[in-house]
Each structure stands twice: as C-alpha cells, then as structure tokens.
Structure 1
Amino acid sequence: MIPAMASATALTATPLQAIPIADSPYVILFGSLYLLIVLAIGAWGYMQTESTSDFLITGKSIGTWVLALTAFSVIQSGFGFVGGPELIYSFGTTALWIFFTAPLGFLITWVLLAKRMRVLADIRDVLTLADGMYVRYESQWVRGLTAVAVVVGVVAYLATNLAALQYVMRAIFGVPVTTGLLVGAFILLLYSMLGGMIAGVWTDFVQAITMIVGAVFVFAFAVSFGGGMESISRNLATADPALISPFGAMGSHEEAIFAALGWWILFSIGTAGQPHLVTKFYMSKNLRILRWGAPIAAITYAVSSLLAFSTGLSMRAMVEAGEIAAPQNASVVGPVFVLEHTPGVIAGLILAALLAAIMSTSDSFLNIGAAAISRDVPRALGRPIDDDRTELRVTQAALAGITILSVLVVAQSSALVGILGTIGWGFFAAAFFAIVALGLNWKGATKEGAIAAIVVGLSVNLFYNAVPSVAGVLGLGGVAEAVPGLYPFPETFPVGTVSLLVTLVLFVVVSLLTGARDGDSVAPDVAALMER
C-alpha cells in the first residue's frame, strides 16, 4: 500500500533524512524560543493541576477559540508540512481531495459528538474515551478493547512522530540525530508530565497560530517562486495534464476516482473516530461555546493547507520546467522549499511550527495513551485505582513509560518505525467511528456490535498494513507479496477506508441481531443525552 494512503498523518523517519541543516540564525532563534515557551507552559500547567481531571481534561476550562484551534492543530499535525506537500508534489491537484474533505470532517464531528461528549462529562465521571464507551455500552470488554486500541495507536503515532522529531531537531539546531531524539523526547516528556492536557491544549493553541501565520506567508512566497498560478498551471499541464485535473494523477481515470472517493470517506467521516480530537469536547467550559467551534476549526485548517497546496504545486512546476533539481525525496518538498526558497525569518517560523506540530500532537497522544494504561485498563480488569492522587501519579509514570518505549523503538529499529507508521488515521477511524459517533446517536447500538467493530476494524488494518511489513522484515517474502494480492481494491484506495466501511456495516448488523431495538438497554441518563 502507498504509505500516504495507509497512514496519512504518520511521519516516517527515513525520507526526512534528506532535510538540510538550516544556516539561518533566525531558525535557531525561533526553535529555541518555541522550546522555552513549551517548558514555560508546562510549568504553568503544573501549577494549575490539582487532580486527574485537571491533568486529563483541563477541568472543563477551555473556551471556543482555544478548543477550535486545538482541534484543528491536532488533526493537521506535522502532516501539513511533510505529508501534505509530498502528496501534492507527487499527485498534483488530485491530492486536494484530502484537503477539501478534512474541513468537512470537523463539521461532521461537531454535529455528531460535540454536545453529546460534553454532556456526558457532566452526567458521568468520564475522563477518557474508554470511560465514555463504558458508560454507553456498560461493558468492561468495550472499555478494555477501547483502551488497548488507544495504546497501540498511540505508540504507533508517537514512534513515527519522534522519528521525525530527531531530524527536525537536527535541521534546526545542527545536532546529531541521536541527540535530537533524546533532547526532543526529554522536553516532550517533561512538559507533558508537568502540565498534562492543560499544557497540551495551550501548546496546541500556540502551534495553531504559528501554522496559520506561517502558511499565509509561505503561500505568497511559493506562488511567487513558481511565477504565479498561471505559470505553475502551464508548467504542470505541459509535463502531465493529469497533475491539474480533479482525478487523473493516480493511475487510470477509474483508479483516481476510486482513490478520491476513498479519501473523501476516510478524511471526512473518519475525523469523528480520532480519540485525540473527540475527547477535547470533554474540556469545554459549557455547551454554548461549541456552536462556533466547527467553522473556526474548518476555516483555520483550510488556511493552513495553503502551505501544502502552494509548495507542492510550485516545487513540482519548477522541477518540470527545469528551473530547479528534483528533491531527494518527495517527503521533504515542504521543508526544503521553506529552508532554501524563503527568507530566514519565515524559515525559522515554519520550522518552529513543524517542531510545534510534532511535539504538541505527541503530547495529546501521550496523555490519552497514559490515561488508557493508568485508568482504563485497571478498571476493565476490575481493579481501579480509587485514590485520585495515586491515579495521577500512575498516569505520569505511564507517560514516561510510553515515551521511553517509543524512543527505544526509534533508536533500535527503523524497520519497526516503518511498520508502526502504517498504523495511523485509518486505524483509529475504523476502531472508533462506529462505536463513538453512531453509538452516541443510535439507541439500538449494542455492546456486541461495539466489540465486533473494534476487533474487526483493527484486524483488517493490521492484516493489510502491518503484516506485509512484518513479513518483509522477517524475510518471509512470499507472505509479504501474498497479502497485498488479497486486497480486492486498487492499491490507491486506502485500507483505512475499507476497514471503516466494514466496521460500520458490521456494527449495525450485529447490533440489530443482538440488541433491543427500543433502546431499553441504554441507561436513562444516557438515553436522555442522546435525545438532546
């Protein structure tokens, strides 16, 4: 499978080795300033944290703009600077199907979940996604499987983000890769342990502002670099008319349409299955502030996507026109353009934003993963940690454990990082969209349907994405070649979309076969929530 299809938000390690080391003092200045801000926010968050609730959901204290910009930034992540330009450079305007549909995903997520998740945090003691799913289905199996899926996805995301972080630290500060990994991971762990989600939310907010400002400047420089949109379009059309067509840059016309449809489904509907986004609704001050969150998140995401759109098209147009040499790898198109074709101040701002994107998103994953270990798994096993202070300390210890594990993965095995990199957006979308988004809107959903959806969704993703990679590493070439041959769709059609659609159908069918259709199995307070 094409890596970008399998895990569109994952950052792989190897291609980023081609990022040059910055030679502008502004890059070091902005990078250092960002790291100092991160540590200051962590220290401030520590002073605001008195309970596990404060640590995990900020004590329900954030407002409209912070919530919306935080939601946009954890979804955009480093993808906007690395994966986005790569896709646009490689496939032209066809790749815009991701950027057109992702803003729609915020609207769908807000409509389906914002009010229900926030009210759920009022009527029950919920701090994590698994808490909410236990309340909905009253099943420790659902709680436990949700927690396991979260931990697997978090380790995968964190390892790939740390793999990228080491090269970004090298690009900014010129340090050896190993030093960049250790220093970056230590700073990430320090501010995560100090401030929890309070620190994470505010670093997400800083990241969002930086991304928006930087994207606008880069858009202007990129269009100018390519000679204007007319010149860019002409150069691309001369090289390959498919690069500026809606569907034609990914194989045959039929395959391209199929891929675009797959992206549309995965990045619009699948947004509502991302735990690092949907749990943000627990944190809002009240229901009123949810009203404008969706359009703010959607618009800011669209603005930030100007960076990927402009750099990808402009760089490809200039390469095709023979004005510049092709980059070593399409994955570094965005960073290379910023470092080599923008002023030092802009380069510093953008690389600081890339550093922020990786670290702040990693912090969100760290928090939900640690909570799954300290809170959800023990409760699913019938051995909850009853003392709040002890639970908070165990959560912080879990943060350290997950970080150390991810660092060891990155340091010891680039092959393992690549395998984990295939577990991304589609993994969470398949595991959680049905049980969360449908489950909180349909009284007929059952615990059996939820269990089936999680297990099968994870299995389909792992079978098609991870098994071929694992087999290749183990020298089982026959298996590595056979599994992709079993995939019944064109390779450009995302595996995540297939697993998402399979789990949706399975969830509904199993629920209809096993449940009370009148909704009597739903707790009265949860049923009232679903009727709001």
Structure 2
Amino acid sequence: MSESLSLATAPLQQEGIPVADDPIIIGFGTVYLLIVIAIGVWGWKRTDSTSDFLITGKSIGTWVLALTAFSVIQSGFGFVGGPELVYEFGTTALWIFFTAPLGFLLTWIVLAKRMRLLADIRNVLTLPDAMYVRYESEWVRGLSGLAVALGVVAYLAVNLAALQFVMRAIFGIPVIWGLLGGALILLLYSMLGGMIAGVWTDFLQALTMIVGAGFVFAYAMSFGGGMENISRNLANADPALVSPFGTLGGAETAVLVGIAWWILFSVGAAGQPHLITKFYMSRDMTILKWGAPIAAISYAISSLIAFSAGLSMRAMVEAGEREATFAASEVGPVFVLDHTGSIIAGLILAALLAAIMSTSDSFLNIGAAAIARDIPRALGRPITDDRVELRVTQAALATLTVLATIVVFYSQALVGILGAISWGFFAAAFVPIVVLGLNWKGASKWGAIAALVVGMLFNIIYNVIPEAAAITDNGAVQSANEIVMWTYPYPAEVPAEAISLLVAMIVFIFVSIAAQQFTSPERKLPDDLHPLFER
C-alpha cells in the first residue's frame, strides 16, 4: 500500500542532495544534454508520419532493441528508486532486482513473436490498436487507451522525480527548477524526435549505464569495506536488513512482500506497454531470438548500482562512518558524487539524464498516442489525416508532461514506491488481456473489458486514494482512506499492485469462460490471426 510505504519521509522536493561543483561533471552533463537535443532534432528530420513517430518505421536491430527494452525499464527508477528502496528496506528490494531479469525472458517467450506478427498482419502502432484487433471491440480499445494514459502520468512522474535530483546534482540548481527545467527540456526533446530519438538515446545511455554500474559496484565495495563488512555492519544494526526478505514488515509479512514483488516484477513485465510495444519496431522476426538474454543480463548488471550503493551507504551510516544528511531518495546521486571520481560521476549522472529523457519519451509517446489516436477511435471520432494525427499526438505530450509534473510536485511517496505503483497499474491492466489474450484462443472481449475495469479500479482504490490521503487533510479523502485500509485483507506492507494483477487475471479467465458458455454464438477468431497462436 502506498500510504504505508511512504513512511515518514519528507516530500520529494528537498535541498539535501550535494552539488557537484566540478567542471568535469558539469561538462559531462552539458554535453549529454546537447547530444540528447541533437538526437531529438535528428529524429524530427526523420519523422514524416505517425508510424515513424511511434514505432520508428520498424527499423531497429537486435542489440538496439534489447538494450532499448532494458533501459526503458531501468532508467530513473533503477538509479534513484532502486538505491532508495535498498537503503530503506535492505534486502527486500532485491526481490525486484533478482526477478525483473526473469520478466524479460518471460516477456520475450510469450509476446515477442506475437506482437511483431500483429504489426505485420494489421499494421498496428499502439497497444490499444493490438487489443482492438484481438478482441474486435471499441470498448477494449478505449479502456486500453485510458489505462495507458493514466499509467503514463504516474510512470512519467517517477522519472521527473529522479530528474530533479540529477539536475541539481550536476548543475547546482534548486530541485524545483530542476523539475521544471527538466520537464521543459523533455517536452522539447519528445515533441521533436519521437520514438526514433528515444530509441537511439536509450541505446547510448544503456551502454553507458552498464559500464558505470561496474564502476559503482567496485567503489561501493571499496568504501563499504567489502561485502562481508557491509553485511556485518547492517546485521549489527538490524539483522533483518540482510535477511532473505528484508525489513518491510515483520518476519511473516516480509515473506509475503517478497513473493508479491516476485510476482509483480517477473509476470508484470509482460504488461508494460513501453516494453512490449518495442517489438513492433524490430526489422524482422529473426532479430528477436537473442534479445531476451541481452536485455536480462544488461538489467542484472545495471542493478548493481542499486544493490551496492544502497547497502554500502546504509552500512556506512549504521557504522557511524558518515552522517545521514540525505533522504532515502537521494542515496544514488549522493553516493556517486561523494564516493566516485569526477569522470565516473560525470559519466553516470550524464547517462542518467539521457536515460530519463529517453524513457520519459517512450512514456509520452504511448500516452499521447492513447489520447490522440486510441480513445478518439474508440469513441467513433478517429483523426483520419495522418499529419493532423501526428500534430495532435505531439500536442498531447504537453498535457501529459504538465500532469506528471504536478504529481511530482505534490507527491510524498518514495520514488521507488511511485515506480512500483505505476508498474503495478500497467501489469494489472495488460498482463491478462495481452499475455493470455495472445496465447489463448478462448479469450473473450467480455473478459478483457472486465479485467481492464477491475484492474484499474483496484489500483485506484488501493493506491491512489491512500496516496491522496497522505498529502491532504480533506475529511472526505481521509474517510475514504479509512474504508480502503479496512477492506484491504493483507498487511499494509504487501503491495496492492501484485494483488490487483492476480485478481485481474482471475476475473479475465472466469469471465472469458463464462462468455463461451452464455454468449451464442461466440465470435470466431479471424483467419489472419491464427498464426499468432502457432508455436
């Protein structure tokens, strides 16, 4: 539950993060921003249609696809939210980082071929496009578009929350200006370059983050005195910090949390639209073969940043080797600035700027497409002119950026928890209708509609309402939250996102089977979609 996990931490806008004040780091940051903007301009010159803007015209190869897939999942969450969760809850967070690589393997196995085939069979551009083709229902298309738009606002907020810290660390500006300035640069970059720019920026920053993760791990082990010393210091402070399930809740609750996060971040990966729509972009089917291990291994290596920096910083604080003058959200940037050399710090922080920009670009593109393309089509008012649709899509980027900025400004949730909430929202909405729908001929449009509604409502009730209660004293909101907490059947520490995923899958299966029994006749699967179900 987001309310319980936000604990007593201060709001995201803080001034405790150190400032680089180093010409090398400032130079890296400046050059990287210029490169990002240059890639955006290059992408703009290559963007002539909505297809170019959203899926790069099916033009990318194996390594670019795999590293782009890994980087859109890692990004600001991995560098800010990851160390934050490890620092705050110890080994609890490792259930995310150990299981997420499995999510890449699962996603590739069950969806890569099918999503790419759909892009050829019906020339789909978005996830709601694909769901309309599968279920032949405007209700499914519209609800899918709504789910994408809502989830994008939360997910984009995660990256903007990380961006404000990085902007302050590099350039020394207050975090509020880092937030507003970063959002403005992001909007400019996204409106110019579309997905073409995002893919190549993803590729560049992915390579940089993999290299940087190795250096951060080495520095963290050195300053922490090695893993044995780090574990000893943590165990002396609280044995649960290095236990198999960490400190989030008591012994039994921590086990439930670990299992829930295992489900959420392995199975839930296949419901992330910013990941699975990347399969549309591959040049052909043959390049999909090695993408899964490349993405999984890359993610595992990059997770060394969260694992080592979070544990090392907590161990040093517990051993009295440094004061905790920072908030949990600032652990990643603080460690890099205080304990690595200028070149490594500049490289990592600059790469993170690129990561946030490119990942946010992916979110903005799928969210804007939902607003400008999917929802209007579901309402029977499609934009028929391609150039007009492209411009409306670009205009929708501004609305989403403003909404996400507002969420960051007012939210008190940890960056990592905000990331888990948005991940869970997408997982509950799309794992049932996409994974089961593209692997089971018996999947029904009624099951899809029911799963989408239940998945979204469950997350709104058990995540959004508690988060709203944490930032306002409004009596109605507080009363609603009391009812929500009373009706939640699990300990507050157990993430509602995982429960919503399981509930949505059960609803989807039950309603689909019921539809087969009570709907006469059940529609036949179109002939051109049969290849999707061939092994």
What is the TM-score of this pair, normalised by structure 2? 0.93
Q: State the match for 1:448 in structure 2.
A: 446
Q: State the match for 1:438 in structure 2.
A: 436
Q: State the match for 1:513 in structure 2.
A: 514
> Cα 1:83–1:321, aligned 2, differ >3 Å: closer, same or farther?
same
CA distance in 1: counterparts of 2:398 and 2:494, whole angstroms: 37
- Aligned residue runs from structure 1 range 238-253, under 5 A: 238-253=236-251
CA distance in 2: counterparts of 1:148 and 1:95, whole angstroms: 30
> Cα 1:82–1:106, aligned 2, differ >3 Å: closer, same or farther?
same
Q: Deviations over 1:147-201 (max 9, x none)?
A: 0111111122223432432332122112244433333222212221121100011
Structure 1 contact 41–199 (Cα < 8 Å) conserved: yes
Q: State the match for 1:261 in structure 2.
A: 259
Secondary structure in 2 matching 1:157: helix
CA distance in 1: counterparts of 2:236 and 2:226, whole angstroms: 16
Does residue 1:66 correspond to 2:67, yes or no?
A: no
| Aligned residue-pair number | 527
CA distance in 2: counterparts of 1:247 and 1:405, whole angstroms: 35
Q: How far 1:493 sits from its partner (Å)?
A: 1.4
Does residue 1:466 correspond to 2:464, yes or no?
A: yes
Match of 1:522 among 520, 525, 530: 525
Does residue 1:214 correspond to 2:212, yes or no?
A: yes
| 2:533 maps to amino acid | M
Q: How far 1:269 sits from its partner (Å)?
A: 0.1
Structure 1 contact 99–305 (Cα < 8 Å) conserved: yes
> Cα 1:493–1:320, aligned 2, differ >3 Å: closer, same or farther?
same
Q: How far 1:44 sits from its partner (Å)?
A: 1.2
Q: How far 1:482 sits from its partner (Å)?
A: 3.5
CA distance in 2: counterparts of 1:151 and 1:248, whole angstroms: 34
Q: Deviations over 1:508-527 (max 9, x none)?
A: 00000003799853211112
- Aligned residue runs from structure 1 range 170-249, under 5 A: 170-249=168-247
Structure 2 contact 13–176 (Cα < 8 Å) conserved: no
Q: Deviations over 1:448-473 (max 9, x none)?
A: 00000010011111101111333452
Q: How far 1:352 sits from its partner (Å)?
A: 1.4
CA distance in 2: counterparts of 1:65 and 1:191, whole angstroms: 23
CA distance in 1: counterparts of 2:50 and 2:393, whole angstroms: 8
Match of 2:164 among 163, 166, 179: 166
Structure 1 contact 259–493 (Cα < 8 Å) conserved: yes
Q: State the match for 2:366 in structure 1.
A: 368
Does residue 1:281 correspond to 2:279, yes or no?
A: yes
| 2:532 maps to amino acid | L
More displaced 10-residue stretch of structure 1: 197-206 or 233-242:
233-242
More displaced 10-residue stretch of structure 1: 19-28 or 493-502:
19-28
Secondary structure in 2 matching 1:488: coil
Secondary structure in 2 matching 1:126: coil
Does residue 1:502 correspond to 2:482, yes or no?
A: no
Structure 1 contact 15–329 (Cα < 8 Å) conserved: no
What is the TM-score of this pair, normalised by structure 1? 0.94
> Cα 1:5–1:409, aligned 2, differ >3 Å: closer, same or farther?
closer
Structure 1 contact 13–160 (Cα < 8 Å) conserved: no
Q: State the match for 2:397 in structure 1.
A: 399
> Cα 1:185–1:213, aligned 2, differ >3 Å: closer, same or farther?
same
CA distance in 2: counterparts of 1:485 and 1:90, whole angstroms: 26
CA distance in 2: counterparts of 1:228 and 1:167, whole angstroms: 28
CA distance in 2: counterparts of 1:246 and 1:523, whole angstroms: 49
| 1:479 maps to amino acid | A
Q: State the match for 1:290 in structure 2.
A: 288
| 2:230 maps to amino acid | I
CA distance in 1: counterparts of 2:412 and 2:309, whole angstroms: 29
Secondary structure in 2 matching 1:360: helix
Structure 1 contact 327–333 (Cα < 8 Å) conserved: no
Q: State the match for 2:118 in structure 1.
A: 120
- Aligned residue runs from structure 1 range 19-98, under 5 A: 19-98=17-96
Secondary structure in 2 matching 1:515: helix
> Cα 1:423–1:258, aligned 2, differ >3 Å: closer, same or farther?
closer
CA distance in 2: counterparts of 1:214 and 1:469, whole angstroms: 34
More displaced 10-residue stretch of structure 1: 498-507 or 483-492:
483-492
Gaps of 5+ in 2: none
More displaced 10-residue stretch of structure 1: 381-390 or 476-485:
476-485
CA distance in 2: counterparts of 1:248 and 1:385, whole angstroms: 51
Q: State the match for 1:143 in structure 2.
A: 141
> Cα 1:527–1:49, aligned 2, differ >3 Å: closer, same or farther?
same
Q: State the match for 2:337 in structure 1.
A: 339
- Aligned residue runs from structure 1 range 306-325, under 5 A: 306-325=304-323
| 1:514 maps to amino acid | A
Structure 1 contact 104–298 (Cα < 8 Å) conserved: yes
Q: How far 1:236 sits from its partner (Å)?
A: 1.9
Gaps of 5+ in 1: none
Q: How far 1:125 sits from its partner (Å)?
A: 2.2
| 1:193 maps to amino acid | M
> Cα 1:265–1:405, aligned 2, differ >3 Å: closer, same or farther?
closer
Q: Deviations over 1:232-251 (max 9, x none)?
A: 12222222222222125333
Structure 1 contact 420–466 (Cα < 8 Å) conserved: no
> Cα 1:187–1:398, aligned 2, differ >3 Å: closer, same or farther?
same
Secondary structure in 1 matching 2:99: helix
